[in-house]
Amino acid sequence: MKSQEIKYVGIDCGKKTLEVIRIGDNSLHQRQQFSTTEIGISKLIN
């Protein structure tokens, strides 16, 4: 099984959220928002 490489394009830091855009091997992008609370940061790194 080939592992999929994920590239992080950027992180936009607002007052209460982080917006992360990821690009996978197939050039599809995924945009996600995370809270800047401890729980939100935990979801981002896991």
Q: Are strands 7-13 and 29-35 parallel, antiparallel or unpaired?
A: unpaired
In this predicted structure, the answer to whether residue 11 has a pLDDT above a threshold of 80 is: no
- Does 14 map to a domain? yes
Number of domains in the chain: 1
* SS3 label, residue 7: strand
Q: Is residue 15 part of a domain?
A: yes
Domain extent at residue 30: 7-45
pLDDT tens digits for range 17-30: 888 888 877 778 88
Tell me the whole-structure pTM to 2 decimals. Answer: 0.55
Domain contains 2? no
Residue 24 lies in a domain: yes
Percent of the chain residues topping a pLDDT of 70 = 72
Domain-embedded: residue 1: no
Q: Is residue 27 part of a domain?
A: yes
